[in-house]
Amino acid sequence: VGLAGMAGAARAETDEPNSWEEITRYNNFYEFGTAKGDPVKYADAMTIDPWSVRIDGLVDRPGDYAFDDIMAKMAVEERIYRFRCVEAWSMVIPWNGFELSDLLDLAGVQSGAKYVAFETYLNRQEMRGTRFPVLEWPYVEGLRLDEALHPLTIMATGIYGRDIPKQNGAPLRLVVPWKYGFKSIKSVVRITLTDSEPPTSWNKANAREYGFYSNVNPEVDHPRWSQASERRIGGGLFAERLPTQMFNGYAGEVADLYDGMDLRKLF
Amino acid sequence: MDMRELVNSWARRLPTWVVYLALAAPAPWLFFLAVTGGLGVDPVKALEHEYGLIALQLLIAGLCITPLRRYAGVSLLKFRRALGLLAFCYVVLHLLVWAVLDVQAFDRVWADIVKRPYITIGMTALLLMLPLAATSNNLSLRRLGPRWRQLHRLTYAVAVLAAVHFVWLRKGWQVEPLVYLLAILVLLGLRTVPRNRGRMVGRPSRDSRA
């Protein structure tokens, strides 16, 4: 075993998936409150059955797609991804889901489409956190079309082979593993193909701190904290910080999407 | 016996060391919880936050002493030193958890203090507490005389800076830290209310009273 083998082993050790408890009891889902423990306490109030996703904008077959119909047509597989929050903590999560591009194929993306906009479910009775204007509700996110069609980009419907819990964004959520966690919008009810860059929630709240792209980048600090390293959840009180990897370790797969772009400006 | 006298007589009988002990106890207890998983899956942030929050709460408790005496006739003055000193101890613990367990490297700690305004503000609040903690003994109180009171008004600045630090470190405008900031501003505002309205209004009539 050479050095590469050793490095591989160390990498594998730090990339051991987090436990179900860690993944499902430590969440940011501000619609249910801003504390990490709020979503697991209060997300149960959210109605997820029946559920449908409206796909509209620049598509051939706009309409409301029932969740069960989507699931009948999609090939669900396991994807173990690193998950890096903009707050500088991280996890490794074994998602179950399907590629977003397969879902978009259902609706038929038109040639003029350049961006994909996403919207989270909003019901103020069921979501106690929406009583406060921490963000503008509903939560919205967006990707460039090539990012959305990238094979790493999935819609997750499960974790550890079980249905995805409500606090993690049931019944289906976006997962873009090379971007900060807030891009991976939860409990999606609407997907709109557009020809212009859609507004995104954190960018609207504070454009200086949160850009449209929000790619994981250890060289570009958040104005209020360093992004060079991260705390891996589950290591306990005395765990060492891990160095954050460019594009969260997925540079080999996605770096070419950003060829020629100044990632300091387009952060 | 009315409520006020009940509290006052209870406070007279309660030894100060009991207050020290009761308010210091959460520090080791929280550390034990953090080590054993009782503070959740991110114990570093949880412990950092808990120590900082307790410090802020003790600062606020200290700011309540004067208005309580003035508006409710309740005297808890003998506990104020304990509140201030323990607030200082919790701030130091807060700093240590952040520097040693969270950031983990001195150069990054220093870079954060210099570069990140909300950390600069928090650090300023801590530094302003140093002379207060150092002069919280009876000897300094006697030696400094009236200057001691002036010096310890720094507490007002410390409390405001600490609350701004809390508001600023959260993502977005969150309710909890804003409530703390508001409470501090109200407690400071109460101190600007003239002590005796009659005298204020009647200031020119000082001679006539003689």
B149 in contact with A, Cβ within 8 Å: no
Q: What is the pLDDT of residue B1?
A: 60
Report the mean per-residue pLDDT for chain A.
Answer: 94
pLDDT-derived band at A162, boundaries 50, 70, 90: very high
Three-state SS at B26: helix
| B174 contact residues in A (CB cutoff 8 A) | 34, 132, 134
A63, A55 contact by CB (below 8 A): yes
pLDDT-derived band at B207, boundaries 50, 70, 90: very low
Given an 8 Å threshold on Cβ–Cβ distance, is B111 in contact with A34? Answer: no
Residue B209 has pLDDT above 60, yes or no: no
Q: What is the pLDDT of residue A66?
A: 98
Q: What is the pLDDT of residue B115?
A: 87
B38 in contact with A, Cβ within 8 Å: no
Average pLDDT over residues B30-42: 95
- A101 CA: distance to closest CA in chain B (Å): 32
B158, B129 contact by CB (below 8 A): yes
Given an 8 Å threshold on Cβ–Cβ distance, is B40 in contact with A37? Answer: yes
- B46 CA: distance to closest CA in chain A (Å): 10
Q: What is the pLDDT of residue A48?
A: 97
Q: What is the pLDDT of residue A127?
A: 98
Given an 8 Å threshold on Cβ–Cβ distance, is B175 in contact with A132? Answer: yes
Three-state SS at B38: coil
pLDDT-derived band at B194, boundaries 50, 70, 90: confident
Decide: residue B1, CB within 10 A, 0-12 exposed, 13-18 middle, 19+ buried: exposed
- A89-99 and A229-232 beta bridge pairing: parallel
Query: CB-based contacts of A248: which residues, under 8 Å, 6+ apart?
Result: A82, A84, A177, A178, A179, A216
Question: How many Cα atoms sit within 13 Å of B128 on the Cβ side?
Answer: 18
pLDDT-derived band at A7, boundaries 50, 70, 90: very low
Report the mean per-residue pLDDT for chain B.
Answer: 91
Q: What is the pLDDT of residue A15?
A: 86
Average pLDDT over residues A13-30: 92
Rg over CA atoms, chain B: 20
A202, A188 contact by CB (below 8 A): no
Question: How many Cα atoms sit within 13 Å of A266 on the Cβ side?
Answer: 10
pLDDT digits (tens, 9 = 90+) for B134-179: 999 999 989 999 999 999 999 999 999 999 999 998 888 889 999 9
Which residues on adjacent β-strands are paired with residue A144? A115
Residue A12 has pLDDT above 70, yes or no: no
* CA atoms of B201 and B2, how far apart (whole Å): 32
B4, B72 contact by CB (below 8 A): yes
B56, B179 contact by CB (below 8 A): no
**What are the distances in angstroms from CA B7 to CA B4, B68, B69?**
5, 11, 11
* CA atoms of B113 and B98, how far apart (whole Å): 11
pLDDT digits (tens, 9 = 90+) for A56-101: 999 999 999 999 999 999 999 999 999 999 999 999 999 999 999 9
Decide: residue B150, CB within 10 A, 0-12 exposed, 13-18 middle, 19+ buried: exposed
Chain A: which residues have CB within 8 Å of chain B?
18, 21-22, 25-26, 30, 34, 36-37, 87, 89, 132-135, 202, 205-206, 223-226, 228, 231, 233-234, 236-241
Domain ranges of chain A: 15-258
| B41 contact residues in A (CB cutoff 8 A) | 18, 21-22, 25-26, 233-234
Q: Of B132, B51, B128, which is closest to residue B95 (Cα–Cα)? A: B51
Given an 8 Å threshold on Cβ–Cβ distance, is A237 in contact with B35? Answer: yes
- Please report the number of interchain residue pairs, chain A to chain B, with beta-carbon separation below 8 angstroms: 64
* CA atoms of B203 and B184, how far apart (whole Å): 30
Residue A3 has pLDDT above 90, yes or no: no
* CA atoms of A235 and A14, how far apart (whole Å): 10
| Helix, strand, coil in percent for chain A, rounding step 5 | 30, 25, 45
Which residue type, as a one-letter code, is found at position B113?
A: I
**A32-70 core/surface letters (b: 16 or more CB in 10 A; e: else):** bbbebebbbebbeebebeebebbbbbbbeeeeebebeeb
Domain ranges of chain B: 3-193
Q: Examine residue A133 and say whether the peptide bond preceding it is cis (omega within 30 degrees of 0).
A: no
Alpha helices by DSSP H, chain A: 3-14, 20-25, 38-42, 67-73, 100-107, 145-149, 201-205, 251-254
pLDDT-derived band at B196, boundaries 50, 70, 90: low
Given an 8 Å threshold on Cβ–Cβ distance, is A231 in contact with B45? Answer: yes
Q: What is the pLDDT of residue B203?
A: 47
pLDDT-derived band at B197, boundaries 50, 70, 90: low
Q: What is the pLDDT of residue A1?
A: 35
Q: Examine residue B131 and say whether the peptide bond preceding it is cis (omega within 30 degrees of 0).
A: no
Q: Which of A87, A135, A224 to mutate to test the interface with B (most CBs of B within 10 A)?
A: A224
**What are the distances in angstroms from CA A20 to CA A86, A263, B79?**
21, 34, 46
- B208 CA: distance to closest CA in chain A (Å): 56
pLDDT digits (tens, 9 = 90+) for A187-245: 999 999 999 999 999 999 999 999 999 999 999 999 888 899 999 999 999 999 999 99
Chain B residue closest to A234 (CA)? B41
Angle between helices B106-115 and B117-134 (to 10 degrees): 100
- A77-84 and A89-99 beta bridge pairing: antiparallel
Check the CA dihedral B103-A81-A21-A210 and report its sign: positive
Given an 8 Å threshold on Cβ–Cβ distance, is B35 in contact with A236? Answer: yes
More confident: A112 or A7: A112
Residue A4 has pLDDT above 80, yes or no: no
* CA atoms of B74 and B164, how far apart (whole Å): 29
Average pLDDT over residues B68-83: 92
* CA atoms of B14 and A45, how far apart (whole Å): 46
Write the residue in A205, A206, A233 that is nearest to B41 by C-beta: A233
**A176-186 core/surface letters (b: 16 or more CB in 10 A; e: else):** bbbbbbbbbbb
Rounded percentage of chain A residues whose pLDDT exceeds 70: 95
Q: Of A157, A164, A152, A120, which is closest to residue A23 (Cα–Cα)? A: A164
Q: Which CATH class is domain A15-258?
A: alpha beta
| B45 contact residues in A (CB cutoff 8 A) | 89, 231
Question: How many Cα atoms sit within 13 Å of B34 on the Cβ side?
Answer: 21
Average pLDDT over residues B59-81: 93
Q: Of B49, B17, B126, B156, which is closest to residue A37 (Cα–Cα)? A: B49
A82, A92 contact by CB (below 8 A): yes
Q: What is the pLDDT of residue A130?
A: 96
